[in-house]
Structure 1
């Protein structure tokens, strides 16, 4: 979510004549909120102008993320419903989120505005793979399967480890750590499972986005076994680097990557993920085809299109909100 917020600020800063305030308290103009915490709510209550909220989270996002979240599902769903209903306009990051918001009782207008990625940061040119591998201390012939995700049960690091056990000649690299520290769900058991992982698995912990981009350029394919996503930003970033994608068979990816089985490989179980890894790594033509599909899919979500999209939404929103004379 922080990456999306930063990308939005970067895109809007280049708009001529736009008065942009970042994390400021003000009472007029358009307030665009990206988080759902108490501070964001206080700013919304304080504000006197139009309020736009980007909906990155649903109640399902907390399950498998925070200790005991399943016991507070109704409470979190109620809070999010009340939060989003305080906005004048809600921007859902995917059609799946839009459906969940409506199902949860959000009555404010909802518009789907997908996240974007800075493709120039992730794009893998002809020489960038070898350069990235050299900078990361990797060998040129090493086969690398990458995942970028928080360490949470719903992200299924156990499936990632199972794939590594079945592919001992392949290096599996997981970038990311527990977001909520000691309050993260099943943190202790996940750490124990990681400690028992085979030697061909690397858990790097949290890294800066520039290093994430390096790993995307260095890897051979992207494996994402997460069971719940509101958008799939990490997969889109990997696609921008031209990585073939093996993703959990979720409908949220349809809007991003098109038909399943052609532009990306869907999987439902650990065995299907293993089969996908082995199939892709053993077939250079398939890797090239999937890589090209990834690049073409990511082109539709380039960061350069975000500012124009948001400015059009702001303008239409303000025009609709003005009283008729």
Structure 2
């Protein structure tokens, strides 16, 4: 039995993908590997492995007590430059925080990235390649699933979404990095299409572009709904109610929202970032910029039957990043780390 202590504060701030990924992993390991793993969360306790999900300062201090923590595993949900366009801090604080994050990662025995593209970027920050592994995100089918046609229609009526109005959904924290400017402009340019953005200001007034976006929230276009931060169940229903899930982000790792939407059967449109090519190539509608997004919307709003192809690709995403496959991957990883630890202390 391997004892693993999970450390995370992500669930304290609603609307974060980091929190969703953390909860999904806890649920997966607790339900699927209780005979092999003993999981504790946010405890001061002796463990074989301490798995760090967030970079809190108290977590950093715990890394100096290796006999207590055992092997130290860091989950890389961001690197310093992915914070650009997320929060606004004085330049000095930004630089200090960036150096702190790198120092935190360097203290780990091993790092997990959710996108293989970030391995090279971590290596450039001075972290040895052999200390980095790629394990993708995943979502639970029992939480994120496709509703029946009747259930979708009932939810549309409940939320006053016109039954036959082509609907585009986006999701994530309201911030510049998420490409909100393009999403808002598309809504203005397409009054015949319904737009919905699910998410809010998880970091309050330090969010990049807070005042600008607050003005839009106070007076949005008639065809644009901002839901604010909502429950996972309601988010699932919105994914089901849309015709296309559009994520226009400029910078990501592996957004949970893509997996959630795909698991609910929504066709996916993404800003065609290079980081998606290794993990999702051929399974989403690519758009380089707002002009291509508009062009794609014109095609599918006028020919919704063509979305059948992309619904099938979303099913492929859901199957590829399934719980079953990822449970095996995580168990293999944890056992491998324990074996390395044993071998390291052998004479």
| TM-score bucket of the superposed structures, by smaller chain | over 0.9
Residues 199-242 of structure 1 deviation map (CA, whole Å, 9 limit, x = unaligned): 10111111111111110011111111110001122122111112
For residues 245-300 of structure 1, give each alpha carbon's deviation from its aligned partner in whole angstroms, at most 9, with x where no partner exists.
111111222233223xxx32222222211111121222233210011111112211
The answer to whether residue 56 in structure 2 is matched with residue 37 in structure 1 is yes
Query: 1:6 maps to what in 2?
Result: 23
Alignment partner of 1:319 out of 333, 336, 339: 339
Q: Number of matched residues?
A: 322
Q: CA RMSD in A?
A: 1.9
CA contact (8 A) 1:116 1:301 kept: yes
Instruction: Give the drift of 1:196.
Output: 4.7
- 2:161 equivalent to 1:141: no
Residue of structure 1 equivalent to 2:80 = 59
Alignment of 1:9-28 (within 5 A): 9-14=26-31, 15-17=33-35, 18-28=37-47
Query: 2: CA distance between counterparts of 1:79 and 1:257?
Result: 31
Q: Which runs of 5+ in 1 are unaligned?
A: none
CA deviations over 1:134-175 (Å, ceiling 9, x no partner): 443434223211000101111121101111122111110001
- Rounded to whole Å, the distance in 2 between the matches of 1:99 and 1:69 is 28
CA distance in 2, matches of 1:159, 1:253: 19
| Residue number in structure 2 paired with 1:89 | 110
Offset of residue 27 of structure 1: 2.7
Does the residue aligned with 1:26 lie in a helix, a strand or coil?
coil
- TM, length-normalised to structure 2: 0.87
Runs of 5+ unmatched residues, structure 2: 1-17
Contact 1:143 1:171 in 2 (8 A): yes
Shift of 1:193: 3.5
Is the 8 Å Cα contact of residues 27 and 47 (structure 1) preserved in structure 2? no
The counterpart of 1:76, out of the listed 81, 97, 101, is 97
Q: Cα–Cα, structure 1 residues 162 and 197, in superposed 2: closer, same or farther, change >3 Å?
A: same
CA distance in 1, matches of 2:310, 2:256: 18
Q: Which moved more, 1:137-146 or 1:207-216?
A: 137-146
2:119 is aligned to: 98
SS of structure 1 residue aligned to 2:39:
coil
Partner residue, 2:4 = none
More off after superposition, 138-147 vs 293-302: 138-147
Contact 2:74 2:112 in 1 (8 A): yes
- Matches for 1:233-272 after TM superposition, within 5 Å: 233-259=256-282, 263-272=283-292
Task: Give the Cα–Cα distance (whole angstroms) in 2 for the partners of residues 274 and 44 of structure 1.
Answer: 49
TM-score (normalizing by structure 1): 0.92
Task: State whether residues 246 and 266 of structure 1, in contact with CA within 8 Å, keep that contact through their aligned partners in structure 2.
Answer: yes
Shift of 1:7: 0.6
